[in-house]
Homo-oligomer: A and B are copies of this chain.
Amino acid sequence: MQVTASAPGKIILFGEHAVVYGKPAIAVAVDRRAYVTVQNREDEQIYVEVPDLEVSGYLNLEENEVKLETGDKTKKGILIYMLKSIERIHAGSGMNIHVDLNVPIGAGLGSSAAITVATIAAVSKFNGKNLSLEETARKAHEVELEVQGAASPIDTTLSTYGGIIYLSKNADALVPLEVNMEMPLVVGYTSKRGNTGELVESVRKRRENYPDALNLILDSVEALTNNAKEAILQNDEKRFGELMNINHGLLDAMGVNTAELSRMVYAAREAGAKGSKITGAGGGGSIIAYCPGKTEEVMEELNTFEKAFNANVSEEGVKIHSEN
């Protein structure tokens, strides 16, 4: 028997960092997916291979540990998400699991949530359990909470349901937005990753030192995020792009921009992007550019830095591809 499930990665469009202070955010599932295939195995072990990361190993549920077979320890993390996912659905053992990644790791695209959601879906199905989307999203969020200590439900929600979501003020609700607009995005990716925890802490300190200025900046992010929600609903490309640019400046003011990210953001605009900004924590990591009609030009320009790839909104969340 074999089951394949996939789940999309995500991109934060608006509101990163501000969301820590109860401000709204907008994020979108993208057509960059993690594929998890589960097959029978003769013995009772759980073997996982992730060729894209050159890592493989065994998940030991009883001893709650991962034994690497190949790959370095820095890549062990992804197997821990899988171990915790399988534990949480109380699945049986005796499985060979193969993971294909079309979503890059460490680029702020929520690869861990995509892998977690796809693993939960594939392994459940393989074991004859039909999880609802709600259960899948909840369990995946629990896994992220367990592994990371803290986690927003945004990533796991988008990997489960797809589409665009608006996280309302104080994270009261995750509201799906109907997508009326084309959303051709280019991600410019730097291998120098920012440390999310340190960046969140640096914004906290800056806000502590300059509360008046920073609180107004966070309020401004809230205003533009709500404005961007309207722009999406009204299919207003120009407004959407301009609001990205404003949000970028505010992230710069929070102190999470870098020389390289800044160069990429401006290079994308000069190549024709309607808007461009840091996405995620900053301090390295990725930028996104919104490029209706200019995807190739922006890709070409951003590829002169480190690595660029295109992404589009994915209406499709987690999906079972085959079962036989």
CB distance from A255 to the nearest CB of B (A): 7
**Which residues of the partner chain B approach A210 to less than 8 Å between Cβ atoms?**
223-224, 227, 242-243, 246
CB distance from A91 to the nearest CB of B (A): 48
Known A213-B227, A220-B213; contact A245-B255, beta-carbon cutoff 8 A: yes
B258 with A266: CB separation less than 8 A: yes
Chain B minimum-CB-distance residue to A252: B249
Q: In the docked arrangement, what's the CA distance between A259 and B254, Å? A: 19
**Which residues of the partner chain B approach A249 to less than 8 Å between Cβ atoms?**
249-255, 257
Say if the beta carbon of A216 comes within 8 Å of chain B: yes
CB neighbors of B among A198-246 (8 A): 206, 209-210, 212-214, 216-217, 219-220, 223-224, 226-227, 239, 242-243, 245-246
A223's partner among B212, B223, B254 (CB-CB below 8 A) is B212
Q: In the docked arrangement, what's the CA distance between A254 and B219, Å? A: 15
B213 with A216: CB separation less than 8 A: no
Contact with B along A114-126 (1 / 0, CB 8 A): 0000000000000
Interface of A is mostly: helix
Known A253-B248, A255-B245; contact A216-B212, beta-carbon cutoff 8 A: no
A213's partner among B213, B224, B254, B263 (CB-CB below 8 A) is B224
**Tally of contact residues, A, Cβ under 8 A:** 37
Say if the beta carbon of A178 comes within 8 Å of chain B: no
**Which residues of the partner chain B approach A269 to less than 8 Å between Cβ atoms?**
259
Q: Which residues of A contact B (CB under 8 A)?
A: 206, 209-210, 212-214, 216-217, 219-220, 223-224, 226-227, 239, 242-243, 245-255, 257-259, 262-263, 266-267, 269-270
CB distance from A274 to the nearest CB of B (A): 13
Chain B minimum-CB-distance residue to A261: B266
Q: In the docked arrangement, what's the CA distance between A224 and B255, Å? A: 14
Chain B minimum-CB-distance residue to A253: B249
A223 with B216: CB separation less than 8 A: yes
Chain B minimum-CB-distance residue to A257: B249
For A209, A252, A267, the residue with the greatest tally of chain B CB atoms inside 10 Å of its CB is A252
Q: In the docked arrangement, what's the CA distance between A245 and B251, Å? A: 11
**Which residues of the partner chain B approach A219 to less than 8 Å between Cβ atoms?**
216
B242 with A209: CB separation less than 8 A: yes
Q: In the docked arrangement, what's the CA distance between A239 and B205, Å? A: 12
Chain B minimum-CB-distance residue to A245: B255
CB distance from A221 to the nearest CB of B (A): 8
Chain B minimum-CB-distance residue to A225: B213
Q: In the docked arrangement, what's the CA distance between A263 and B219, Å? A: 28
Q: In the docked arrangement, what's the CA distance between A166 and B249, Å? A: 25
Q: In the docked arrangement, what's the CA distance between A269 and B210, Å? A: 20
Q: In the docked arrangement, what's the CA distance between A305 and B267, Å? A: 17
A270's partner among B227, B239, B251, B259 (CB-CB below 8 A) is B259
**Which residues of the partner chain B approach A220 to less than 8 Å between Cβ atoms?**
212-214, 216-217, 220, 253
A266's partner among B209, B246, B262 (CB-CB below 8 A) is B262
